[in-house]
Every structure is written in structure tokens, then in C-alpha cells.
Structure 1
Amino acid sequence: MSFQTTVRPAEPVDVADIRRVASAAWHTVYDDILGAETVDDLLDEGYATEVLERMIELDDIGLFVSTADGDVVGYASCGMTDAAGFGDLDLYVHPDYWGEGIGTDLLNRGESHLRDLSVRKIRDEVLADNEVGNGFYRTHFEKIGERTTEVAGREYPVNVYERTV
């Protein structure tokens, strides 16, 4: 594909587009793992308009969007999770734009924000069955372990990754 991309802080006008990208990415990745109904429930909870608008307002949470030719095609949220200098960074890209470097651009912007918050390491978890997510994290992070997490009352294996900021 040939397009101009930009990563910038999210604005209230971006909320519907973030929800659109989240829905496309989550359903593509997680429907076969969690089930479409569970995915819808998680999207409704985590991507409620009020939640996203509040995230945009908070200085200690970074919410960024990536645009391609002016359209939002990806987003990242990040913040400090532990006073010892750990942070997390979640990012999703619309499936039509996977493999185009947008995730890497969002990672770099989020990492810059985390550095400003004095985060020293990013620690994230990816469901073991999420092939796309694990492929991205294997490229940019070091796998440091495995554990399980509960989603909608069921246990799922996750891979734990870290990256020095």
C-alpha cells in the first residue's frame, strides 16, 4: 500500500474511530479464541466512549492514533503501572494495515511518552493463541515468561514480554 502515516495524540473526535479499529482488530484476533460475544462484551467495557474520553484527558496516560491519509488506522495506549518504573503499552492496528509498520510507529511514540513518565521497562502480556500479537512482540520485545489469565471466567495462557525503554 502507498499512503502517508502520522502518529499523534488522540482527540475526542477520534473516539468513534478508535472504537472502529478496536472492533475490527479484536474480532479478527480474538473471535476464534474467546468467542465473538465475549469480544463484544470486552469491547463494550474497555472502549466505552466515556473511558476513551477520560483517557484523552489524563496526562499520565498516553493515547495515540495513527492515521493513514487522514483516516485512523491504529492506536496505542500506555501508562506507568508500577512505581518501580514499569509501564504497559497496548496497541492495535486495523487488520487492513497489518505489516505496514504502523504498529512499530505507535510503539515508538508510546515508548517516548513512557520515557517522559520515567518508565524504565514495558511489560505486556499477550494471549498465547494470539499469533499476530505474539509475532509483533517477538520482534520488538523479549519474552520473559508465561502465566495464565482469566477472561470471562475462563483461564487462558499468556506470554509475558518486556522491553527496556
Structure 2
Amino acid sequence: MSITYLLTDSPVGPLRLVSDGEHLTGLFFAEHRHAPERAGTEVGLGEAPAVLREAVVQLADYFAGRRTDFDLPLAAEGTPFQQRVWALLRQIPYGRTRSYGQLAAELGQPGASRAVGLANGRNPLSIVVPCHRVVGADGSLTGYGGGAERKRALLDLERGSASVGDQLF
């Protein structure tokens, strides 16, 4: 399969959407910690695989407040533990948060909050797999691959604190 990527603007800055032709395999911010090098071929919206075009539509709906969940074929590469953590992230409701410790307990490994944090930080599908919804035990904003400002902006957007259509970044 051919790897392609599409650059698109968003209220939280430019996003790089990556696909294997059938699945969304990555969604990265311009300054994204742990983002891979730009492997693959850059495409424009017109020649992008259907999954990338649909991701652009769904992201626009999310930022406009019309979408609370994503319905895209996903294929993120990760260890079995990372996959389990990422699956739990998708279960966190829109506008809500969970702590690393809560996720570790849900995995049946209450002492694994640090490992959950590391897996969360390696999530290659930001926003779509909502790692921004994970906070410290005291509710504090902790690390985020796209930066703490973006994490705050996404949480504010979901809580209705950001004006729809306003540029967050």
C-alpha cells in the first residue's frame, strides 16, 4: 500500500493526516512530539484517498461543534498495550476527562498509570483518538503531543467554552 498524507488547516493549527490508502494511520500537529518523519507522498484534497477526504469533513464538523465522535477506518501501529490504551481513549465521552490512574485501573493494572501516560503520548491519531481528554489525578493538564495550549483549546472546545468558528490558534 502507498502511504500518503494531506496537510489541512484547523482552528488548532495545521494538521497532517496520514493514510495507507484505506485507513487513517496518523493525525499530527505541525509541532507534534513523537511524530514520525514525513514518510509517504503529499497529496492535495482532490487526489487524496477517500478516508483522508472524509477525515477533513469530520474534523470540520468536530471543530464546528456538530460532531462528538469520529467514524473513520483507523489503523494505528502500536504495541498490544498501546492498542488497549488507545481503545480506552475512544470510550472517554466528548467533553469529559479521565486520569491516567483511572485508565490504568480500567485496564486492570492500577499501578500502570505511568505506562498509560507513555502510551497516551505515543497516540498517532490525535483528536480522533482523544488523548487530550486524559488529565492528571488532580485534574491538571499534563503532557500532550501537540502542546498544553492545544490540549486546553480542545478541552475548552468540547466543554463549549470556545466560540464556534473562532480560530483557537
- TM-score, scaled relative to structure 1: 0.30
- TM-score, scaled relative to structure 2: 0.29
With CA pairs under 8 Å and 6+ residues apart, which has the higher RCO, 1 or 2?
2
More helix as a share of residues: 1
